[in-house]
Amino acid sequence: MKDLLPGLAIVFAVFTTSVYADTPGAPDLPRVRIQTTMGDIVVELDKNKAPKTVENFLSYVREKAYDGTIFHRVVKDFMIQGGAVNASYEPRPTHAAIQSEANNGLKNDRGAIAMARDFDPHSAKNQFFINTIDNLHLNHSAPKEGYWGYTVFGKVVQGMDIVDRINKVPTGSGGMFVSDVPKTLITINTITVEPPAPPTIVASAKPEIKAATKKTFKRKAKKKPATAPVTAEGKANKVAEVQVAKPK
């Protein structure tokens, strides 16, 4: 089996202070829970911008095809990749390849989940990866060889700390892979679809409470005028040039 995301010559330095917490998403977007031996990762799937890719991924989830597979490729400060082989490095059955949806506007930013593939942009099947930095060079830029990019179809909304822990494990060779395989196997126990979140109901305040609240705010405003909020400047991520080798 070919090691997907081929030909990447990676030379970069990364400085990041991003922290991923559980974030509310669109009510119509499905979420899946990736249960691994290092913890759970919850991913929101953008079926609106990547309908074919999301349906393809969910078909493997429904068939339990990812159960018992491993993260077979882990590159620090780049991404974690899995879904292809089991703990014995045996390839799992796949469906037919799907058409690329890399031009959907979604970016390979930190926390984005995308489909791995061969040199053919329309060769994605079951393998996926999660970006651990903003990988600008993996984004779609043109519908031609070397510029197609990799289809993003969702984002991590919970468990990015687990992704980061996986990304830092020691790696070496394993099975058919000569490098980047975690020395201690990280197994995907199962991937399940999360139940839809119940609608949030906010009760209206009683009229007399509203009146009291308005009155209180007016008194406070007279005593001490509100000041404009101050926003602290965040640290920018710095990524050196990354070259993508073209297929021969």
Would the pLDDT of 202 be above 70? Answer: no
Locate the domains of the chain by residue range: 8-197+236-244
Q: What is the pLDDT of residue 198?
A: 66
What tens digit of pLDDT does each residue of 40-97 get?
A: 999 999 999 999 999 999 999 999 999 999 999 999 999 999 999 999 999 999 999 9
Average of pLDDT values for 21-28? 58
Q: What is the pLDDT of residue 196?
A: 83
Would the pLDDT of 130 be above 90? Answer: yes
- Token duo for residue 164: 């980061």
Q: What is the pLDDT of residue 199?
A: 63
* More confident site: 145 or 175: 175
- Token duo for residue 136: 């600008």
Q: What is the pLDDT of residue 218?
A: 45
CB 38 within 8 A of CB 159: no
Note the Cα 164 to chain centre separation in Å: 11
**Residues of 72-111 as b/e, b for ≥16 C-beta within 10 angstroms?**
bbbbbebbbbbbbbbeebeebeeeebbebbbebebbbbbb
Distance, CA of 203 to CA of 226 (rounded, Å) = 28
Question: What mean pLDDT is reported for the chain?
Answer: 79
Average of pLDDT values for 185-205? 80
Neighbouring CB atoms inside 10 A of 189's CB total 14
Place of tokens 């030909």: 7
In the CATH hierarchy, which fold is given to the domain comprising 8-197+236-244?
Cyclophilin (2.40.100)
Average of pLDDT values for 200-205? 54
